Structure formats: C-alpha cells, structure tokens
Structure 1
C-alpha cells in the first residue's frame, strides 16, 4: 500500500536524522525541565509531523496507515514524549473531524491542525468514565444556536497546549448509553473552560495532562461534528481503532531503542573478564526481546495494510495494541535487568524508558479492555458464521 517508496524512504531518512541529531540529545533536558524546547516543536511542524494523517488537500502529508506506523517506528526511537506532542493532533484529536466532520468543519480546522498552528486534544475520559466510555456524564444541552456544556474531563493529553478539543458529551439525557453521546469541536479559549493543575505522573515528563472543566461553556451548534447528534460514540470508536495501531507502533519503536541501548551496554560492560553480552543468560534476554519486537512489528504492519485495504480491523487493532504494549514492558524490564544496578540509575536512561512505557498498557484502552474486545469480537463472529480472525486471516489474505 506504499504509494511512493522513494518519497517514503526520504521522509523516513529525514525523521531518522531528526531523531538522532535533535531529539535524542535533548532527552535529558526534557526530563529535567518537564518541557519540550519550543525550537524542537517548531522543527516538528516544519517536518510536517503534525499533519501525518491529514490529507494533502488540507495541507497534511496524507500518509496511509502503513506509512504512518513506519514513521512512528522511527520517531519513537527517541523518548516517546516527543511523539506525544504531535500524537493527539495526528490521531484522536483530528481524526474525528476527518472521519465524520462536515466539509466546512474539515476546511476550517484540518489545515491549521496539519501545520501545527492548532494542537488538538481528545476529551473523552472522565473521573467516573474511563474504560466505560458510554457512561460519560458531561452534558451538552441545546440552547438556541449553541450547546451549553457542563462536566469534567480527566487525564487529557496536551490539554495545557490545546487549541481545540474534540469533546464527547451527552446530548440526550434520557439515553444513558452510547446512543446519547455526541462529538463537538470546542475552541480551548472558550469562556467557561477551566484547567486543573498539571498531573504529576510516573513518567512521560514533557508530555502534559490535566483535568478540563466545562462550566456553562457555550459551543456553537455548527461545531457539532457532522451536525448530527448521537454519533459521538461511534466516532470515538472509529478514532480509537486507528489510535490503537498508532500506539502499537509507538511501543515497537520504543522497544527497539531500549534494546539498542541495552545491547551497547552489554557489549561494553565487562564481568569475569569478558563482555556480559557473552553470557548465555544475557543472550537469552536479548534474543527474547528481539523476537518479540519482530513479532509486534509484523503484526502492526499487517493490521495497517488491512486497514488501508478498507477492512474492519477492530480485532486486529486490539491484538496489536495488547501485544505490542505488553511486549514493550517486557523488553524494558529485561533491559533494566541486563544493566543491573546501572539500569536503576537515572544517568543511563533505561529507568526513564521503564517508567515512560508503562503508560502504553493503560491509555487508548487498557490491556484488559483489549482482551474483552478481542474475545467479544470473536464470539460475535462465531455467532454470525464468520471465520475467526475477521475472515481469511490464515488463508489467502483476501476478504471473505
């Protein structure tokens, strides 16, 4: 599905040079200051990284899913907080507009998102609605030409930097489930929006989250995505399917970097008169890590290609997200073990990755939620007479 291999290779080379020359040298500064230098953010804009998934007609790069995950593999060889600053715009912040927005909404917002002028955040999670997204309580009540929004959103990535929110709110209070949820584009500067203090997290310093509080915030009715109530939950689920493939690619890229650092240390560190890389038990950890990274990479590329072919990849996206993020956690744990005491020390960087990648198994749906999705989809397929794996997964590769 790669449309132009030469152009893609040039993009991957540019990202790789940027990672080596700018991002990796800045990792310690970001960890220390809890901020990405503005100059680096500007360079990311100039590289087009904010517009990876936005069509060329709106000023983006318009990458296919396979192309996008290949770029993410390279980008996430640096600290994943750099990816986080573009992640909500590339993924869950903009894709709802792209998938279900009106032509006017797309034209108004997508060019500004692609250029990085606006950073988009996805406001779905609430204090009492995380995995159970259909139970959200934030309300949007129609009042003339606008909706009045009240409620609190929690752990919203890039909220302090956001220019707009893709907001999920309940427009039908009588409908307690998913059918009562609608999606809105909300200007982050709107009166009635307040922000909690930045969350103090286990890791991911430089990537900021906080509560977003809506108190009688008026949102123009024209900002209802698709101008149709009750479609918000479906929009969110479509966005999350794509986002799960993206996060799986993030986990693959981070795991590659972690293993590379651990390998270099194992070759240089000597014990009992030889590099520790010569010890068979260390080699076993190296081999297990490489094999799992390779398996996850193959899964992500396969699922991305299926999505590019127009297939329903809900099951495959959850498989990728579950396996790749769990894999990354195991690779990080083995790397700490290979480095021994040095792995526990901040100066070597592995402990930072160990903390940072722990998040991957939580956001975009926890591992346990992915297990539920996979099992329920397979049970549904069985009841409908569809072969396991979504049809033809182990045969010719054609959709059955």
Structure 2
C-alpha cells in the first residue's frame, strides 16, 4: 500500500481490524441464514465507509480511488456482500459529484456521506443484460414531469436504498440510441414497485431485486445535470469506478481464500508432514499468492489512472477481468487444498467459491469487458499505413 498517504493507510488498517473483530466471527451465520446485516451496515456508516467516494465540501473524509479500492478489498475479505452494500452507492455519489446540479449535490451528497441516504443504480433490464442500449424503460416528458414505464432487474440494495440512479430513454426515437438515454435521480413513490428479491447462488444477505415502473411520475429536476441524452456517457464514466470496485471485491474474496488455504495447509498433516510441503499443494499456494499479487497491482494501476482524471475504461476493464478470473481460480484451489472439508458449509471456502462468480458476470460480463478493452486498445494504438 505504498501508494497511499499515511492517513489513507490508517483508514485501510482501521477497516481491516474491524473486519477481523466484527465481521469474521458472525459472517458464517449471517450468510447461511441469508440475513441482512443491519448491525454491520450501521457500523459501516459510523466508520464513514459510505462517504469514502464523496469529497469536499460535502464530506471531509473522501479518499483516492486507490484507497477506496483497498477498503473495498478489506470489506470483501470479510464478506463480499458488505462490499456490495456500498458499491452502487459509491458509483451514484461519483455521478452526482461529476454531473449533478448544485441543488442535487447539496441535497444528496452530505446525507449520502453519512449513509443516511443510501443509493443504488438501475441499469440492467430483463432480456437486456449488458446491452444497455437495448433498454426499453422510457421516461416521457409531460410538462414539468417525466412519466416512467418499464422494468429493471438485478438491482442490488433496491429495497433499502432511498435514491435510485435510473438509466432510461428520454428520447425513444433518438438515433443512435445512446443519444436518447438519460439518468434520472428518483426516489420511491406511487408507480415504483420493488417486485421481488431474486434467489442467488451466493452474494447472500444483500437483496438483488426486480423493479417495475408504471406511470411513475417524477419532476424534471430529477434529470442528472441539465441536458437530456447525456446519460449513457455519464454512466460509462461511472462504471469505471464501479468496475474497479468489483475488481476489488474479487481481490477480497481471493485474499480470504488464500488466507484460509495457507492456514489450513500448515495445520493439516498427511504422511507425517504439513500438507504444504507436498509439492502439489505447495504449487497451488505459490500460484495463488502470485496471481493475487498481480491482480492487486492491476487494480491499483486502474485506480491511479482513474484518479488522474484520464479515461480509465480499458484499465478498469483489465482489472475487473483479471481480478475476477483470478478470484475464481483461487477459490477453487482453496477448495482443493481443503479436500472434503472444502465442500462443507462449516468452512468458509465454499462461500468464496459461491461468491467469486458474481465478479465475473457483474458490472458488465467479462466477455463485454474484453470488447471494451480491445476497442480502446485499437483507439489508442491506430495502425499506421
């Protein structure tokens, strides 16, 4: 963590100690009961975690993207769901800071920093997946209101968030489609229904929901910024920090799996010696540590690029692809090292194996990420005739 200031390093250390003291002892019970971690979320508010992505003058404890990534990793090392509880919230905070009106900034950011208001973003639609330009949710302007109709799915924290950054079409006839897409900052009301919680393999405790909008009316002042049709570009910038966050979650899952596997390999003996001394197990551990270290460096590289203000979609995509695939491999290898115990719900490694796939498919699948990477790669390196 040599890139961080002394103050930021202290924040990461504080979160790490909190995770070890408060999260680790209770996570297994909360996870398997699929219980919302109300007490832990309240403690996260008190620590200031929901304000880390918000800077002055609305919050005096904002941090760099590199520090934010490191804190996210520590949260996910304890329980990936906790990192999920602040992921979309942070993206919305960044969107409001970058593009919101003064009134929107002053209205939301101070209370978002304390966690009094929690936010989420609503992008994905049934049948649309990662193809955001195929969205069918429409907000038609009528006087000084928008009337919204459509649906969204896989929206994390939808029941417990007070603010939703809704990506929708304000000009359904615009060509190309992205020119008619806007972000509306909406709060719940008549016509806005959180219809059901979706069952999931992992990522327990935190809800992922379907949303439906039926003649849902909001004032035109909910438009992010002042101009319609900017939403797609705004969200693409927002997803840069979102993908860095998801990559950091993967680091946390990978780090937890490595910690558990390393400890078990020293405690468990077979044929008269600790199993780490068997070459096959030792090789697993060596590769796990090497790959995790490489992934962490790539995530920090993407975070520094984001902090520089330069376009970081390629770097964030690279970090997300590599870190998530690495976490999946480390989680599987941790199960292998634990043998039969790795398949038992009494050990945490089975949870890591269930949580890791989310980072591969979430915030834009890795197949989509590779498209983003190669397009930007060619753009930055055009062939010379």
Indicate the TM-score class for this superposition, using the shorter chain for normalisation: over 0.9
Contact 1:164 1:186 in 2 (8 A): yes
Residue 11 of structure 1 corresponds to: 11
Residue of structure 1 equivalent to 2:68: 68
Q: CA deviation at 1:359?
A: 0.5
Counterpart of 1:226 in structure 2 is 225
Equivalent residue of 1:304, what SS? Answer: helix
Task: String of CA shifts for 1:350-387, please: whole Å, max 9, x gaps.
Answer: 111100111000011111011111111122223376xx
The question of whether the paired residues in 1 share the 8 Å contact of 2:182 and 2:223 is answered with yes
Counterpart residue number, 1:307: 306
1:29 CA displacement: 2.2
Q: Are 1:202 and 2:237 matched, yes or no? A: no
Query: Deviation at 1:35?
Result: 2.1
Q: Report the Cα distance in structure 2 between the residues aligned to 1:57 and 1:345, rounded to whole angstroms.
A: 49
Contact 1:266–1:277 (CA under 8 A) maintained in structure 2: yes
Aligned to 1:94: 93
Indicate conservation of the 8 Å contact 2:87/2:242, yes or no: no
Residue 23 of structure 1 pairs with residue 23 of structure 2: yes
Deviations 1:108-136 (A, max 9, x none): 01111111111111011000222110111
Distance in 1, Cα, partners of 2:383 & 2:204: 46
Matches of residues 137-148 of structure 1 in structure 2 within 5 Å?
137-148=136-147
- SS of the equivalent of 2:159 reads helix
Alignment of structure 1 residues 104-123 onto 2, 5 Å: 104-123=103-122
Equivalent-residue separation in structure 1 for 2:62 and 2:284 (angstroms): 39
In 1, the alpha carbon distance for the partners of 2:17 and 2:296 equals 21
Residue 266 (structure 2) pairs with residue 267 (structure 1): yes
Structure 2 CA distance for aligned equivalents of residues 245 and 318 of structure 1: 8
RMSD of aligned residue pairs (Cα, Å): 1.6
- Contact 1:88/1:119 (<8 A) preserved: no
Q: 1:347 aligns to what?
A: 346
1:164–1:185 CA contact under 8 A, matched in 2: yes
Distance across 2 between alignment mates of 1:60 and 1:218: 35
TM-score (norm 1): 0.92
How far apart are 1:4 and its partner, in Å? Answer: 7.4
- Scaled by the length of structure 2, the TM-score of the pair is 0.96
Equivalent residue for 1:157?
A: 156
Does the 8 A contact of 2:8 with 2:63 survive in 1?
no
Q: Does the 8 Å contact 1:94/1:166 carry over to 2?
A: no
Contact 2:240–2:306, Cα closer than 8 Å, also in 1: no
Say whether the 8 Å CA contact 1:183–1:225 is kept in structure 2. yes
CA–CA separation in structure 2 for the residues paired with 1:359 and 1:162: 21
How many matched pairs? 383
Per-residue Cα deviation, 1:289-335 (whole angstroms, up to 9, x for no partner): 11100101111112211222222211111111100000000000111
Secondary structure of the structure 2 residue equivalent to 1:112:
helix
Distance 1:45 1:259 in 2: 28
Q: Distance in 2 between matches of 1:384 and 1:216?
A: 50
Q: Which runs of 5+ in 1 are unaligned?
A: 386-400
Matches of 2:308 and 2:104, distance apart in 1:
26
